Homo-oligomer: A and B are copies of this chain.
Amino acid sequence: MERIYLDYNATTPVRPEVRDAVLPFLNKLFGNPSSRHLEGRQVKTKIEAARAQVAAAIGADPERIVFNAGATEGNVTVLRGYQVNYKEKKGRNHIIVSGVEHPAVYDTAKKMAGEGYEVSFVPVDGEGNLDMAFLKNAIKETTGLISVMTVNNETGVIYPVKEIAKIAHEKGILFHTDAVQAIGKMPFSVKDIDADFVTLSAHKVYAPKGVGALYIKKGKRLDPLLTGGHQENNRRAGTENVVGMVAMGRALELASGEMAADRERIGKIRDAFEARILAEVPHTRRNGGADNRLYTTSNISFRFVEGEAIQLKLDYHGIAVSTGSACSSGTLDPSHVIMAICNGDEEEAHSSIRFSFGKYSKMEEVGYVVDRVKEVVAQLRSFSPLYDKFMNSKPK
- B35 lies within 8 A of A227 (CB): no
- B330 lies within 8 A of A234 (CB): yes
Q: Which residues on B sit within 8 Å (CB–CB) of A69?
A: 68-69, 73, 210, 226, 238, 241
Binds B, one of A11-19, A118-126, A182-190, A293-301: A11-19
Q: Does A49 contact B (CB under 8 A)?
A: no
Q: Which residues on B sit within 8 Å (CB–CB) of A241?
A: 69-70, 208-211, 241, 244
Q: Which residues on B sit within 8 Å (CB–CB) of A352?
A: none
Q: Which residues on B sit within 8 Å (CB–CB) of A13?
A: 27-28, 30
CB within 8 A of A210: which of B37, B240, B321? B240
Binds B, one of A2-10, A157-165, A253-261, A365-373: A2-10
Q: Which residues on B sit within 8 Å (CB–CB) of A25?
A: 14, 208
A240 in contact with B209 given A35-B322, A228-B102 (CB within 8 Å): yes
Q: Which residues on B sit within 8 Å (CB–CB) of A244?
A: 210, 241
Q: Which residue of chain B has the shortest Cβ distance to A20 in the bound complex?
A: B26
Q: Does A286 contact B (CB under 8 A)?
A: no
Bound Cα distance A156, B273 (Å): 61
CB within 8 A of A230: which of B70, B73, B315, B327? B327
The copy count of this chain in the complex is: 2
Q: Does A382 contact B (CB under 8 A)?
A: no
- B330 lies within 8 A of A73 (CB): no
Bound Cα distance A270, B72 (Å): 42
Bound Cα distance A192, B244 (Å): 36
- Interface membership of chain A positions 87-108, coded 1 if the CB is closer than 8 angstroms to chain B and 0 otherwise: 0000000000000001111111
Q: Does A34 contact B (CB under 8 A)?
A: yes
Which residues of chain A in 2-59 are interfacial with respect to chain B, using CB atoms and an 8 Å cutoff?
3, 5, 7, 10-14, 18-19, 22, 25-28, 30-32, 34-40
Q: Which residues on B sit within 8 Å (CB–CB) of A240?
A: 209-210
Q: Does A393 contact B (CB under 8 A)?
A: no
Q: Which residues on B sit within 8 Å (CB–CB) of A137?
A: none
Q: Does A191 contact B (CB under 8 A)?
A: no
- B27 lies within 8 A of A14 (CB): yes
Number of interface residues of A (CB under 8 A): 80
Q: Which residues on B sit within 8 Å (CB–CB) of A111?
A: 227
- B26 lies within 8 A of A14 (CB): yes
Q: Which residues on B sit within 8 Å (CB–CB) of A30?
A: 11-14
CB within 8 A of A229: which of B39, B211, B228, B327? B327
* 12 A-B contact pairs sorted by A residue (CB < 8 Å): A13-B28, A14-B25, A14-B30, A32-B203, A35-B320, A36-B311, A68-B69, A69-B73, A70-B239, A108-B227, A108-B228, A210-B238
Instruction: List 18 additional contacts besides A210-B243, A228-B327; criterion CB under 8 Å.
Output: A11-B32, A13-B30, A14-B27, A35-B322, A35-B326, A36-B312, A37-B322, A76-B225, A104-B229, A107-B228, A108-B227, A208-B243, A209-B239, A209-B241, A210-B238, A210-B242, A211-B241, A230-B329
Interface residues of chain A, those whose CB is within 8 Å of chain B, are: 3, 5, 7, 10-14, 18-19, 22, 25-28, 30-32, 34-40, 68-73, 75-76, 102-108, 111, 201, 203, 208-211, 225-231, 233-234, 237-244, 308, 311-312, 314-315, 320-323, 325-331
